[in-house]
Amino acid sequence: MSSALTDLFPQPIVQAPMAGGVSVPQLVAAVSEAGGLGFLAAGYKTADGMYQEIKQLRGLTSRPFGVNVFVPQPEYAESGAVEVYAHQLAGEAAWYETELGDPDSGRDDGYEAKLAVLLDNPVPVVSFHFGVPGREVLDRLRRAGTLTLVTATTAEEARAVERAGADAVIAQGVEAGGHQGTHRDLPENDGSGTGLLSLVAQVREAVGIPVVAAGGIMRGSQIAAVLAAGASAAQLGTAFLATPESGAHTLHKQALTNPLFARTELTRAFSGRPARGLVNRFLREHGPYAPAAYPEIHHLTSPLRKAAAKAGDAQGMALWAGQGHRLARDLPAGELVAVLAAELAAARTALSAGGDGR
C-alpha cells in the first residue's frame, strides 16, 4: 500500500464505518488512538450532523480518521412493488403501534452537501459505498489533501474504482455484515457474492492500487491471512460492534453471541438492498418478499425498526452482523485493537516458523 495511506495508522486495522448510529465519535477516536484507522459513518445523517460529529471527533483525538459517504442510487421505477410491500408490513405497523415511513423521503442521502463539507473542512480519508463517485469528485478531494477509498465486491468493480482515480479499493467479501457495497443492485445476482480470500486474490491481480480486505474478519490470524493474500490492511466492522464505545443498541450487541441467533443471511427485508444480518423473525417473514428498492424500503421500515428497539424486541430490529459474529469480544475498542495486533504478530511468527498461526 502507498506509504501515504499506511503512514496514517501503524496497525493494518481499519474500523468499518457502520451507519445507523454505531460508528460514533467515541468508537472512532478509540480505534485511531490505539493505532488503527477509525471511520465515521455519514450515511443516514444530514450534512450538518456529519459535520458536528467530525468536530466532536477532532476534540477526542488528533489521530487520522476517515468518513464514509453513500453514493446516490439511480431512480427506482417500480413503485407498485414498494406499495405491495407496504401492505404486507401493515401488520408490523399495527403491532408496534407506529406508522410506516415515507418511501420517498430522499434518494441521495445529502450527497452533494456532504461533499461540500468535506471539501471545505478536509479529513484525512473519505471512503464511498454503493458505487463509484465521478473522477472529478475524487480529484477534488485529492487536491484538498484527502485520500480516497471505494468499496468493490468484484474484480470488475475494483477496476472501475481504479479507473476513477481512487487511492485504494476496499474488497468486500460476501461474509461482511451490513450492506454489500455493490455498484449496481441487480436482483439476479443475489446470493452470488464471492468469499473474501478469493476476492482479495482476484482484485489484487486486477488492479494496481492498494487493497483493504473486508468481510467476516474477527481475529488477528484472519488479518494475517488477508495480508498474505495481497491486502495491505483489514477492515473490521462486527468485531467493533460489541465494544462499549459502539453506539449499537444493547440488544444488538447481545445478539451477536446469543445462541438464539445462530446464523446470518443476506436480506432485502429492512432496506431493499442486500445486507447481512442475524436471522430473526422479521427477516424470516419478510425477506422472501422484499423488493429491490433502496432506499425506499429503508425509509419505509425505519419507524418499525425504531419502534422494535424502543420496545426491546430484537426480533423486529435490523441486527446487522458478519458471518464471524459468534467470535465477537466485549472489549474496549482500544484494547481490541491491541489484542488484534498481538494476534497478528503471533500469527506471522508462527507462519514464518512453520506453525499453525493460531
Return d(Cα 39, Cα 15) in angstroms, integer.
6
Q: Which three cell numbers, joined as nine digits, stand for 185?
A: 443492485
94, three cell numbers: 399495527
- Residue 317: partners with Cβ closer than 8 Å, 6 or more residues away: 249, 251, 252, 280, 282, 305, 308, 309
**How do the pLDDT tens digits run along the chain, 358 residues long?**
456 887 899 999 999 999 999 999 999 999 999 999 999 999 999 999 999 999 999 999 999 999 999 999 887 767 799 999 999 999 999 999 999 999 999 889 999 999 999 999 999 999 999 999 999 999 999 999 999 999 999 999 999 999 999 999 999 999 999 999 999 998 888 888 999 999 999 999 999 999 999 999 999 999 999 999 999 999 999 999 999 999 999 999 999 999 999 999 999 999 999 999 999 999 999 999 999 999 999 999 999 999 999 999 999 999 999 999 999 999 999 999 999 999 999 999 998 887 655 5
Residues 14, 149: Cα–Cα separation, whole Å: 12
Q: Could you give the C-alpha distances from 126 to 143, 159, 305, 306, in angstroms and in order? A: 13, 19, 28, 28
Helix and strand element counts for the chain (H, E) = 15, 11
Task: Supply 10's cell numbers.
Answer: 501503524
CB atoms within 10 A of CB 279: 17
Q: Is the distance from CB of 121 to CB of 151 less than 8 angstroms?
A: no
8 A C-beta contact, residue 321 and residue 278 = yes
Residue 187's contacts (CB-CB under 8 Å, 6 or more residues apart) are 292
DSSP state of 320: B
Sign of CA dihedral 252, 254, 258, 263: positive
pTM of the entire structure? 0.96
Q: What is the DSSP string of 19-49?
A: TTTTS-HHHHHHHHHTTSBEEEE-TTS-HHH
